[in-house]
Amino acid sequence: MTHILTLNAGSSSLKYGLYDATDPPRPLTTGKVGRIGGTARLSPADGPARDLPGVTDHATALISVLSELHNTHPKARVTAVGHRVVHGGLDYDAPIRLTPEILTKLDALSPFAPLHQPHNLAGVRAAISAFPDAAQIACFDTAFHRNHPFVNDTFALPRRYYEAGVRRYGFHGLSYDYIASDLAQHEPDLSRVIVAHLGNGASMCAMRDGRSIASTMGFSALDGLPMGTRSGQLDPGVVLYLMDQEGMSPGQITELLYNQSGLKGLSGLTNDMRDLEASSDPRAAEAIDYFTFRIRRELGALAVSLGGLDGVVFCGGIGENSAMIRARVCEGLDWIGISCDADRNAANARVISPEGSPVRVMAIPTNEEIVIARAALALG
Ligand code: ADP
């Protein structure tokens, strides 16, 4: 028996999965190193969690994951490693088996997603050293959105920027791919669906018949919703002001917009939604107000793009677990067919709208790992 390893480096987490290389891949174990950059903690799905002192970044987190897997599955023979890679640029609209040339091309896309792409590619390189004979497969977060209509793909800049790749790529594609396959299997009657992936990174996607037609994320993973530490949509005039009047360098603005803004910047407290929900500080409440306000604003815009709405799906750490955020998003939206049943919502039920509701509102745990494992099986 051979095995597939999946690696999914988020902005503050490293999720992993070990699978039998069967069709479909059978999960043996999954887990996560969370709060990287703070007090890193390893949480295997099937064992006790423990702190990882000394783990300060994604590369050291990966070493801990490999040692954990070596202890729990000493006989595993990894023949394919599937990686989440945030940016595939214009060239990659499907998973691909990596070569040194492709890896170099992907390095060149790091400025488009500086918070993720370098971590993803560091993970690829660490996996090549750990498993030199295994196939390395990249699965791109941008791929699911590559066929957007022109109006959702472009900015109103002179044409030459579009030709040079300054486009709306959209991200979280593996998560949306998973939700699309879940909906195709379990809710085949739903055509026009908005999916809200609400984690430390957050975005929304409008899908028609399982295909993305619009995303709140654009050229970079900064656009759209406010996130744990990212600003989300911002008037570009603010960036000009920071440069001209505050004398900030591109590096300082990058640090501000990617690492010091969003829920953390607005609350002045934390990027963690659980901690914000528990806080009595009025700034925590204002950060949550802004988060839900922007989700609702995008919901309206995406519903118009779809020409109506059949379903709404919440996923990601916040979307799957926070009944409060889901209730706040759905509040007073009966006029577009959205409502939320308090008991179903509190129980984290799959369908949280009342029976017979015109729009089916759901909370569906996403599974980016299985999407990666399927691709690694197919291409490994
Ligand atoms: P990443 O984008 O790093 O993969 P996740 O999808 O794991 O992030 O989501 C992390 C976010 O989910 C954090 O803000 C965390 O506080 C939030 N979260 C997790 N569980 C809950 C919960 N029960 N209630 C509210 N928020 C939660």
Q: Is 88 in the pocket of ligand 1 (CB under 6 A)?
A: no
My answer on whether 43 and 128 are in the same domain is yes
My answer on whether 209 and 356 are in the same domain is yes
348 is in an annotated binding site: no
- Residues 321 and 347: their CA atoms lie apart, in Å, by 10
My answer on whether 316 and 241 are in the same domain is yes
My answer on whether 136 and 254 are in the same domain is no
Q: What is the Å distance from ligand 1's center to 87 Cα?
A: 22
Q: Would 161 be classed as within a structural domain?
A: no
Between 180 and 165, the higher pLDDT residue: 180
Q: Is 141 a catalytic residue?
A: yes
* Residue 307 DSSP code: T
Q: Would 150 be classed as within a structural domain?
A: no
Let me know: does 92 contact 69? Beta carbons within 8 Å: no
The model carries a pTM of 0.91
My answer on whether 128 and 233 are in the same domain is no
Q: What is the Å distance from ligand 1's center to 200 Cα?
A: 6
Write the pLDDT tens digit of every residue in 85-120.
Answer: 999 998 898 999 999 999 999 999 988 787 788 888
- Residues 20 and 100: their CA atoms lie apart, in Å, by 27
- Residues 169 and 205: their CA atoms lie apart, in Å, by 12
204 phi and psi, to 5 degrees?
-130, 150
Q: What is the pLDDT of residue 126?
A: 83
My answer on whether 136 and 282 are in the same domain is no
Write the pLDDT tens digit of every residue in 257-297.
Answer: 999 999 999 999 999 999 999 999 999 999 999 999 999 99
My answer on whether 106 and 200 are in the same domain is no
My answer on whether 129 and 207 are in the same domain is no
Nearest CA to ligand 1 atom 24: 322
- Amino acid identity, position 102: I
Write the pLDDT tens digit of every residue in 306-352.
Answer: 999 999 999 999 999 999 999 999 999 999 999 999 999 999 999 99
The per-residue DSSP string of 212-234 comes to: EEEES--SSTTSSS--SS---S-
Task: Work out the widest C-alpha separation in the chain, in whole angstroms.
Answer: 62
Q: Would 35 be classed as within a structural domain?
A: yes
In the predicted structure, residue 369 carries a pLDDT above the cut 80: yes
At 312, which helix (H) or strand (E)? Answer: strand 311-315
The structure tokens listed for 276 are 């914000």
Q: Would 174 be classed as within a structural domain?
A: no
User: Which burial class, exposed, middle or buried, applies to 318 when counting CB atoms under 10 A from its CB (0-12, 13-18, 19+)?
Assistant: buried
- Residues 361 and 354: their CA atoms lie apart, in Å, by 9
My answer on whether 130 and 231 are in the same domain is no
Choose among 59, 55, 70, 94: nearest CA to 18. 70
In the predicted structure, residue 11 carries a pLDDT above the cut 80: no
Q: Would 342 be classed as within a structural domain?
A: yes
Q: How many domains does the chain have?
A: 2
Strand partners, 139: 84
Tell me the residue range of the domain where 43 lies. 3-140
The structure tokens listed for 19 are 């699978």
My answer on whether 86 and 209 are in the same domain is no
Q: Which of 23, 93, 141, 334 is catalytic?
A: 141
My answer on whether 127 and 206 are in the same domain is no
Q: What is the Å distance from ligand 1's center to 103 Cα?
A: 30
- Amino acid identity, position 18: L
- Residues 43 and 294: their CA atoms lie apart, in Å, by 31
User: How many CA atoms does the CB half-sphere of 2 hold within 13 Å?
Assistant: 15
Write the pLDDT tens digit of every residue in 71-93.
Answer: 999 999 999 999 999 999 988 98
CATH number of 192's domain = 3.30.420.40
Q: Would 338 be classed as within a structural domain?
A: yes
My answer on whether 125 and 194 are in the same domain is no
Q: Would 240 be classed as within a structural domain?
A: yes
Q: What is the pLDDT of residue 7?
A: 94
Q: Would 377 be classed as within a structural domain?
A: no
- Residues 297 and 188: their CA atoms lie apart, in Å, by 27
